[in-house]
Amino acid sequence: MFSSETYIDRRKRLAEQVQSGVVLIMGNDESPMNYPDNTYEFRQDSSFLYFFGLDSPGLVGLIDIDEGKEIIFGDDITIDDVIWMGPQPKLSDRGQAVGITETAGLDRLAETLAGAKQGGRKVHFLPQYRGDNIVNLHRLLSIPAARINDNVSVELIKAVVEQRSVKSPEEVEELESAVDICHAMQTAAMQACQPGLVEREVSGLMAGLVAGRGSMLSFPTIFTTHGETLHNHYHGNVMQAGDIIINDSGAESALHYAGDITRTIPVSGKFTDRQKDIYMIVLNSQTAAMNAMLPGVPFREIHLLAGEILASGLKDLGLMKGDVKQAVAAGAHALFFQCGLGHMIGLDVHDMEGLGEDYVGYTDMIKRNGQFGLCSLRLGRQLRVGFAVTVEPGLYFIPQLIDLWKAEKKFDEYIDYNEVEKFRDFGGIRLEDDVLVTEGGCRILGKAIPRTIEEVEAACLAS
């Protein structure tokens, strides 16, 4: 974990911003797979990690702003736990490591909260995504379980988002170390891909590599010859010569900061000319987007710029026509780019998404646009120094969407459907890097991962 000062300072700033009441940050519990003692790998809640640092189940953090108290609630392990799981430090000792001097058993939490409520003080809590914590809050606060997420504290959400959005130098180091694991994953995959292998043989190789480093995946790996499906988690296709693979994968750093990198890999080690054409359009779009990023510029503008580069390249290939800016403003390019250009990244791969995507990615001035394509853009707001963001343009040829739009003659002033038909079995290409917004623009985080056609082909052939 970071030094205790980091956590003390984070909690102090949070208390200053929320100003009054009691802040309750729920840690996660173990999550059973098929019976209580057979659990998924434990993953702590990211806001709990951010403010209270302790990476183990069964903990709740409380900041009593009015009384200036900070407490971690949790139960010390019993002799039975020691027998099955080995000795563990006492909670009071673990609390010291994150600057907490007061700890208490979970049985004390209800009375503490009842006292605060009786005193007419607000109990602030964040949106919950785990059923057990919804039930816990229902019990603790006497709010119906189905209404817990209607009673969250918007002040607390906004304060947490404000703080977690800007990454400190020590957080940037963590993000870089996560990307360094992604480097190993991507280059291993490039070397391993070959005709005849099943996708899962390579996705499994990456998972093993991550586990071997004591890390965990930051999200379920997308490794597919059907990259036109944006979040394709099926890994059962046999790779054929001439196929391209979208490898969208990532791992967490030791302190759970996420890496999220996508590369497109030719199975036989060389791209065809047609694949190179599409690849270059995506690469140019990504480069232009990164070159245009600056503090103060809304990421939505960068998304639209990336869309214009994609549309312009498609126009050069004859798939789109007409005025590129108008086509993108109308949303015609979303036939090929149905999603957003990127999202914040941090302790969550879609950072803070559980707190509400619009609180994270939008503001009162820049609201989410409902147009197809743009509506999936997770981040629209102005960039700030210290934001960590993914930049991930792509071109996706989805036969069902092509058929639908063609039948509707949708945007046929901008799309040449006869030419598009020639690409209906193309699949998809995506390139994604994690970048840090700096005073002068942005920089790619972590060790450089092969990105150009030449670099990717060379990495495929290296073994």
Closest to ligand GLY by CB, 187 or 312: 187
* Shortest separation between residue 14's beta carbon and ligand GLY, angstroms: 27
* Shortest separation between residue 433's beta carbon and ligand GLY, angstroms: 11
* Shortest separation between residue 349's beta carbon and ligand GLY, angstroms: 6
Dist CA 321 CA 311 (whole Å): 9
Are 335 and 313 a contacting pair, CB within 8 Å?
Answer: no
Dist CA 23 CA 11 (whole Å): 10
* Shortest separation between residue 156's beta carbon and ligand GLY, angstroms: 25
Closest to ligand GLY by CB, 349 or 435: 349
Closest to ligand GLY by CB, 100 or 217: 217
Closest to ligand GLY by CB, 433 or 457: 433
Dist CA 216 CA 35 (whole Å): 22
* Shortest separation between residue 391's beta carbon and ligand GLY, angstroms: 12
* Shortest separation between residue 170's beta carbon and ligand GLY, angstroms: 24
Return the closest-CA partner of residue 165 out of 344, 407, 306. Answer: 344
Closest to ligand GLY by CB, 62 or 302: 302
Dist CA 426 CA 72 (whole Å): 54
Closest to ligand GLY by CB, 45 or 392: 392
Specify the 3-state DSSP secondary structure of 284.
helix
* Shortest separation between residue 184's beta carbon and ligand GLY, angstroms: 17
Return the closest-CA partner of residue 185 out of 134, 109, 245. Answer: 245
Quick one: the chain helix, strand, coil %, rounded to 5? 45, 15, 40
Return the closest-CA partner of residue 359 out of 81, 160, 123, 172. Answer: 160
* Shortest separation between residue 179's beta carbon and ligand GLY, angstroms: 13
Closest to ligand GLY by CB, 158 or 200: 200
* Shortest separation between residue 126's beta carbon and ligand GLY, angstroms: 21
Structure tokens belonging to residue 63: 């900041």
Closest to ligand GLY by CB, 176 or 260: 260
Q: Which residues here bind ligand GLY, judged by CB under 6 A? A: 219, 248, 260, 349
* Shortest separation between residue 220's beta carbon and ligand GLY, angstroms: 9
Closest to ligand GLY by CB, 153 or 218: 218
Q: Are β-strands 261-266 and 428-430 bridged in parallel, bridged antiparallel, or unpaired?
A: unpaired
Query: Quick one: CA dihedral 67, 72, 74, 76, positive or negative?
Result: negative
Q: What's the distance, CA 141 to chain centroid?
A: 31
Closest to ligand GLY by CB, 134 or 435: 435
Closest to ligand GLY by CB, 260 or 433: 260
* Shortest separation between residue 248's beta carbon and ligand GLY, angstroms: 5
Q: How many helices (DSSP H) and strands (DSSP E) are in the chain?
A: 16, 15
Are 450 and 458 a contacting pair, CB within 8 Å?
Answer: yes
Q: H or E element: which one contains 278?
A: helix 273-292
Question: Angle CA(236)–CA(241)–CA(244) in degrees, nearest 5?
Answer: 65
What is the distance in angstroms between the CA of the first residue and the CA of the last residue of the chain? 36
Q: What is the three-state SS of 393-456?
A: CEEECCHHHHHHHHHCCCCCCCECHHHHHCCCCCCEEECEEEEEEECCEEEECCCCCCCCHHHH
* Shortest separation between residue 329's beta carbon and ligand GLY, angstroms: 25
Closest to ligand GLY by CB, 103 or 187: 187
Cβ of 110: how many Cβ atoms within 10 Å? 15
User: Any idea what DSSP says for residue 349?
Assistant: S
